[in-house]
């Protein structure tokens, strides 16, 4: 029995997002080839872990929609009390990981 492997589509903006996160010192695990609705990245930064789904803002809105598998997994993760964050740019990704550690203003 042979296994058929499908090449997963990686959004064109992913390399820039990964590079920007690594530049600020984040550890980035690329899961984009996993399929089955698994998020594109796991990002660890200053004792925080973020699950990140990348969408390309250069594509039509319909092509930026979550797949049925992503919707199902995101719901399961949400039901477990966690969240998958959707980012479209390096600035959004950096804001995501850095705002989680911002000190309370008071």
Domain CATH code at residue 83:
3.40.1350.10
Q: Look at 12 and 65; give whichever has higher pLDDT.
A: 65
| C-alpha to C-alpha distance for 22 and 51, rounded to whole angstroms | 15
Q: What is the per-residue burial (b if ≥16 Cβ within 10 Å, else e) of 76-92?
A: eeeeeeeebbbbbbbeb
Range of the domain at 90: 30-98
Per residue in 31-60, pLDDT (tens digit) is 998 989 999 999 999 999 999 999 999 889
Is residue 41 in some structural domain? yes
The answer to whether 41 and 54 have CB atoms below 8 angstroms apart is: yes
The answer to whether 12 and 52 have CB atoms below 8 angstroms apart is: no
Per residue in 53-70, pLDDT (tens digit) is 999 998 898 888 999 999
Is residue 85 in some structural domain? yes
Is residue 79 in some structural domain? yes
């Amino acid at each position: 029995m042979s296994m058929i492997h499908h090449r997963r589509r990686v959004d064109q903006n992913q390399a820039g997002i990964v590079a920007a996160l690594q530049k600020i010192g984040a550890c980035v695990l690329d899961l984009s080839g996993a399929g089955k609705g698994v998020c594109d990245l796991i990002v660890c930064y200053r004792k925080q872990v973020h699950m990140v789904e990348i969408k390309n803002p250069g594509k039509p809105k319909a092509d930026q929609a979550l797949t049925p598998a992503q919707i199902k997994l995101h719901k399961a993760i949400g039901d477990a009390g966690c969240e998958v964050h959707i980012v479209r740019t390096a600035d959004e990704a950096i804001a995501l990981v850095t705002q989680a550690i911002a000190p309370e203003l008071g």
